[in-house]
Amino acid sequence: MENQNTVKALPVYVYRSPRLEDCTNGGVSASSDRLLLICEDGYVDAKTDDPTLLRLIKREFGGGTYLHAEPVNPDRGEKVIGPMFGGNYVSTSDSRFPSDYPIPVHDRYETREQYDLLSR
């Protein structure tokens, strides 16, 4: 019997550039090589408060569909702007993965001051 505090998830792996420093501002994909993506076909029972748990977001625009993953439980602290793309992707060779290409991870959060400074 599945607990209501668990979801089905698929293990995914983080792809990042070895030449760049952390561009996520401390996001979950900066510190983990393996994350969990909520997926109907998932085979891992993940707790809903797991900090490595991602959800898939689908957006329709420009005549196409854009996919990205974002943390279910971000550790925002004082960070209030986001989530936004931090430079890392997730994927897996598992055929249950919901995309034919790696999915960007939107796990960067910034304070208003950081956002204003970096957006000039």
Query: Cα separation of 12 and 17, whole Å?
Result: 17
pLDDT on residue 58: 95
Contacts of 74 (CB under 8 A, 6+ apart): 27, 28, 82, 83, 107, 109
pLDDT on residue 37: 98
Q: Which of the residues in the chain have pLDDT under 50?
A: 1
pLDDT on residue 93: 95
pLDDT on residue 1: 44
